[in-house]
A and B are shown apart, each in its own frame.
Chain A
Amino acid sequence: MQTNFEHFALGSMLGKPDMPPKDNGSLCFGAPWQRQAFGIALALSKQGVFEWDDFRSEMISSIAAWEATHDKSDPSWDYYEIWLAVLERMLHRSGVVDQSTDIVA
């Protein structure tokens, strides 16, 4: 089967707790920064900066950690905020972003 990385990446999330929000079969973003964070993560994994599986594992454990400390109906839930934090962690871990010298927000 011919599988583009983008298709594979999202396919591996189907039906799992880390699946991004969707609207009628399409990805849906509540703000431009969410789209930005999503696109950067896919691009970097495609380039081999980090493994997609590692990114996903980090997503799953971060979501589990949030759920362990919040009520599931807590309106402060923000899927892409978790995504962004995971992306930052993956970049620090891979050494692409150096926490001591690079100032990120």
Chain B
Amino acid sequence: MQRFEYSKDRETANAARARALEALLIEKGVITSDTVDKIMAIFATEMGPFNGAKLVAKAWVDPAFKQLLAEDTMAAVEKMNFVTKGAGAEGEHMRAAINTPEVHNLIICTLCSCYPWPVLGLPPYWYKDPSFRARAPESTQRIRPEHRPLQGDQNLGQ
């Protein structure tokens, strides 16, 4: 109970600090009242896994689109109504790897941490982990379960 009260006070204090800071910066003309919303809109609506989900859902119900997605991913992305159009921020050269009951794909960036932000958002922390990047190509069976895209008979490619 003590701790709960403490957290609540702390939460209230932090909210007050953030609010005061924003008000002061607006008063000084450094930012405007919609600055934060503008910044956040980019993350909330323009790039993220919600774009990738739409691509996959469309491929599920539209065989021609699925084929295009596999053969010319960027052309398929262009057909979607994404604000980013897949361009910029690591999304210029995307290629979809479609899972089948026989083939499960594992995506690794052996160079650094390239990731298709426009369609998948920010990568999980382990994606950039050196041990994951080094060990994944050696053996997809030996890497930690949470690093595997699919386990057992799961098949998300259909």
Q: Does B143 contact A (CB under 8 A)?
A: no
A43 to B36, CA, bound (A): 7
Q: How large is the interface on A (under 10, 10 to 19, 20 to 34, 35 or more residues)?
A: 35 or more
Stretch at the interface among B12-20, B62-70, B72-80, B149-157: B12-20
CB distance from B110 to the nearest CB of A (A): 14
Residues B21 and A105 in contact, CB atoms below 8 Å apart = yes
Shortest CB-to-CB span from B81 to chain A, Å, is: 19
Verify A7–B88 contact, CB threshold 8 A: yes
A33 within 8 A of B: yes
How far is B127's CA from A104's CA once the two chains are assembled, in angstroms?
Answer: 39
Q: Please, which residue of chain B has its CB at the minimum distance from the CB of A85? A: B17
Q: Is the CB of A35 within 8 A of B40?
A: yes
Given contacts A27-B43, A39-B40, A14 and B22 within 8 Å (CB-CB) = no
Is A40 a contact of B125 with CB atoms below 8 Å? Answer: no
Q: Which of A40, A81, A96 contacts B22 (CB 8 A)?
A: A40
Complexed CA–CA distance, A67 and B86 (Å): 38
Residues of A within 8 A of B90 (CB): 1, 7, 11
Closest A residue to B52 by beta carbon equals A25
Query: A10 to B128, alpha carbons, bound, how many Å?
Result: 14
Cβ A25 vs Cβ B122 within 8 A: yes
What residues of chain A lie closer than 8 Å to B117, measured between beta carbons?
7, 11
B28 at the interface (CB under 8 A from A): yes
Could you pull out 19 A-B pairs where Cβ atoms are within 8 angstroms? Answer: A4-B42, A14-B127, A15-B127, A15-B128, A15-B129, A25-B123, A26-B44, A27-B122, A31-B14, A33-B14, A36-B19, A36-B36, A47-B31, A80-B14, A81-B14, A87-B21, A104-B17, A105-B13, A105-B20
User: Which of B's residues lie within 8 Å of A, judged by CB?
Assistant: 3, 10-11, 13-22, 24-25, 28, 30-31, 35-40, 42-44, 47-50, 87-90, 92, 113, 115, 117, 120-125, 127-129
A contacts, CB < 8 Å to B: 1-4, 6-8, 10-11, 14-15, 19, 22, 24-27, 31-40, 42-44, 46-47, 49, 75, 78, 80-81, 84, 87-88, 91, 96-97, 102-105
